[in-house]
Structure 1
């Protein structure tokens, strides 16, 4: 097995953005642990068994903010105020931060939000229903989870628009819509504006306490010192971004998958009880987070006979693992009747998705309402014209999803 690095340009092509799964299949078969060079060098792990082990391997650290300052490789010099959070930390630091936040995502608390989330879903559909057409990313998939997480955090409704604008600048970086220098400047500006906004919001809520998630984080900071002020801001950013990004991309990917598999779409419409299992299958089939957030080898680590050297970055390729034929029968086939299996779409181990209950509820309510209320749903453009996030993006999602339908 070759240990030479593959240039990222040979992997992250336009064709890869449209359909990465043939590339993932080749890597799983020929180079299941593959060094890749590019914007930053990393080793990709693509087989299910290896991925599951790697996600819990203590030798693969999530701490990017130690003495080596690995975060500079991934996020750049302006990101420390936003990204130093539980996603980029190891136990016991991760345990401390997650324990504080996890109470807000307890399943019964999330279930209590169901009527409000259903109302947001219906309001968004009501706005587009009379027109017979919509751009579902802008009109539905993005504002649904963004509205929910902003309300949970306690971000004032009047500020939702500009917060959304800043997060979308970060989300769509690399899309080619601006020259590279302008894009870097735009991303840095959006990060800075978001950081200062959240810092000011935390300060205002400390002065005038509120019964919301930011208020709870401030209490953990002020009453018992379990959070620092900087950690309140960084945790708020993580919850804001993680609380809407992947759900928005999932909804877009799921609708597109169903529109390109019309027999599955009709099966799901005719058998609504399949929706919970269909959500899991759609997540497995084309998940919004193709590669888990980066890990760093703290010593030489061997997988599949390949030595990953100390200090190297490691990317666990979730979407490749979820198409591993060693674990899933006919994995490249979308089957909403598939018995729910042990997919890795929500991660694995201590970094398993904290907001899984909320994400599932939003997905079920959102997708269910779209299928129920928008009959004749179909793409408004040829599939080849559907615009996607760039191939090298850490997210798999759509820039636009134009559709037509009847009320």
Structure 2
């Protein structure tokens, strides 16, 4: 096994380098205004946003998800045990991952469907062969509805990542409306 070689420290802070995917040849942007994400932000914005997001990943919050994760995994396993051949990614790993991301973000369980998955995936990992007709929902509308629900004290408001970010944004102005959509 080869050792991991890290770039020189100066390279990590070199302003000539960027995580902006728009500078990558062949990059396919997602829907307008939703092409940026925390992992694609350069320092100062990345540092500020990461600090806000990290608050959602304290051990206490993660521990609160444990029963949900266990129940979800068991339900998925119950479904696959009835089959002789199973695509583990499609039948277990992908749905479990999607449900965990939704739980952390605060997306209500009733939105766990193909349309929501396709809409959110179009914002996360746009692909050149993505058929726009498959994306039934408007990502802006979906995220704006979730943000409005958090502001109105809706389901789990403030307990999940999106609720915590909305609260931080409203309390301190630490995030813009656009940043709430792409964190």
* Same fold at TM > 0.5: yes
**How many residues of Structure 1 are paired with residues of Structure 2 in the alignment?**
174
Q: Which residue of 2 aligns with 1:61?
A: 17
Partner of 1:88: 40
Relative to 1, partners in 2 of residues 1:108 and 1:58: Cα closer, same or farther, differing over 3 Å? same
Query: Which residue does 1:226 correspond to in 2?
Result: 174
Q: Which residue number corresponds to residue 111 of structure 2?
A: 159
Find the aligned partners of 1:167 and 1:222 in 2 and give their Cα distance: 24
Partner of 1:74: 27
CA distance in 2, matches of 1:156, 1:71: 34
Give the RMSD, CA atoms, in angstroms.
3.1
The higher radius of gyration belongs to 1
Match of 2:59 among 107, 120, 135: 107
Partner deviation per Cα, 1:57-114 (whole Å, 9 max, x = no partner): 222533528xxx63796233x5451233321222221111000000111234323422
Corresponding position of 2:94: 142
Pairwise CA distance, 1:156: 1.5
Do 1:154 and 1:213's aligned partners in 2 also have CA atoms closer than 8 Å?
Answer: yes
TM-score where L is the length of structure 1: 0.38
Quick one: structure 1 residues 230 and 191, their matched pair in 2 at CA, closer, same or farther if it must change by over 3 Å?
farther
Work out the CA distance in 1 between the residues paired with 2:43 and 2:176. 17
Q: 1:214 aligns with which of 159, 162, 171?
A: 162
Per-residue CA deviation, residues 234-255 of structure 1 (Å, 9 max, x unaligned), is 11xxxxxxxxxxxxxxxxxxxx
Query: Is the CA contact (8 Å cut-off) linking 2:147 and 2:162 kept in structure 1?
Result: yes
Give, in angstroms, the shift of residue 128 of structure 1: 1.6
More strand by share: 1
Alignment map for 1:229-308 (pairs within 5 Å): 229-235=177-183
8 Å CA contact 1:62–1:87 kept in 2: the answer is no
Residue equivalent to 1:199: 144
CA distance in 1, matches of 2:49, 2:162: 14
Aligned-partner SS, 2:138 = helix
- SS at structure 1 position matched to 2:135: helix
Name the SS for the 1:130 alignment partner: coil
Cα distance in 2 for residues equivalent to 1:192 and 1:119: 28
Q: How does 1:352-367 map to 2 (within 5 A)?
A: none
Deviation, structure 1 residue 143: 0.5
Please name the residue that 1:249 is paired with: none
Instruction: Determine if contact 2:28/2:127 at 8 Å carries over to the other structure.
Output: no
- Give the drift of 1:164: 1.6
Q: 1:372: which partner in 2?
A: none
- Who is 1:354 aligned against? none
Shift of 1:116: 2.1
Offset, 1:192: 7.2
Structure number having the greater helix percentage: 2
Deviations 1:181-216 (A, max 9, x none): xx35x2597397223311222123223341322111
What's the CA shift for 1:163? 1.7
Q: TM-score, normalised by structure 2?
A: 0.77
Q: Does 1:125 align with 2:77?
A: yes
